[in-house]
Amino acid sequence: MDRSWMDAPRHTEKYLQGLAKFLGFAFNKSSVENKILCPCKNCVNSYWREESEVREHLVCEGFVDGYKQWMFHGERVSSSSIHHIFV
């Protein structure tokens, strides 16, 4: 899946369309009681938020640096990726 939109300015159509796809994916794969861990720079995947709040955070603050593999949002992670994250 293309992640180039994550590096686009947050006010652009490219970012907003990519964000909508991310939110659909994340809420489909990893929501608990209609909330997901918010991957914004302030929440850093530590706080459960509803979709509108996650969207606002990601537009205003952006994603936490380096969050290109969505392991907290339903994306499968290979063992080599996990090793790379923790080394």
The rounded distance, in Å, linking the Cα atoms of 6 and 18 is: 7
Would you state the pLDDT for residue 66?
Answer: 86
Model pLDDT, residue 83: 42
pTM for this model (two decimals): 0.81
pLDDT tens digits, 20-75? 999 999 999 889 999 999 999 999 999 999 999 999 999 999 999 988 776 666 56
**Spatial separation of the C-alpha atoms in residues 4 and 49, rounded to whole Å:** 24
Q: Is the pLDDT of residue 16 over 80?
A: yes
